[in-house]
């Protein structure tokens, strides 16, 4: 009588969730997360350069247009890594290197936590300093677009 082995080979492990499909993140997703994370840091007046803010303000006024949380942010997104560039305007009096370090750390933390991507770099360009006496550029644009009309609510 042939001898049978009572020990069977272990069954292969079922595939993990990561092996059952791929997750693709749009560039806009990373840009929005980075924009929200940057806005959490006090001392930032606005994101983006003056030109991008002007176009964004005009786009916001178009019926059906949405404001862009990712304005002033550019991201490159790969399968496992991302690199982010951000342009911002700071409030007068803040210590720019300290602010930049806080913004960078908050963006890295938020993007890595929410997306699982490794953030390889966050480049920050400080394009302007907002002075307390300067009117907001958005306010200037609104008065120019309003055509001298009196506000209805005071």
Helix (H) or strand (E) holding 84: strand 81-91
Nearest to 67 by CA among 48, 86, 84: 48
Handedness of CA 94, 95, 99, 102 (dihedral sign): negative
* pLDDT (0 to 100) of residue 137: 54
Q: What is the pTM of this model?
A: 0.69
Under-50 pLDDT residues of the chain: 52-55, 58, 139-148, 152-154
């Amino acid at each position: 009588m042939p001898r049978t082995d009572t020990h069977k080979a272990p069954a292969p492990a079922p595939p993990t969730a990561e092996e059952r499909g791929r997750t693709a993140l749009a560039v806009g997703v990373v840009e929005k997360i980075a924009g929200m994370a940057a806005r959490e840091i006090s001392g930032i007046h606005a994101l983006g350069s003056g030109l991008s803010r002007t176009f964004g303000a005009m786009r916001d006024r178009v019926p059906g247009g949405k404001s862009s949380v990712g304005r002033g942010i550019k991201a490159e997104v790969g399968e496992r890594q991302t690199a982010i560039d951000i342009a911002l305007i700071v409030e007068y009096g803040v210590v720019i290197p300290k602010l930049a370090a806080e913004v960078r750390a908050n963006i890295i933390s938020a993007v890595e936590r929410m997306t699982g991507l490794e953030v390889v770099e966050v480049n920050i360009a400080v394009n302007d300093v907002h002075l307390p006496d300067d009117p907001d550029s958005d306010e200037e644009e609104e008065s120019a677009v309003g055509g001298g009309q009196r506000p209805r609510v005071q």
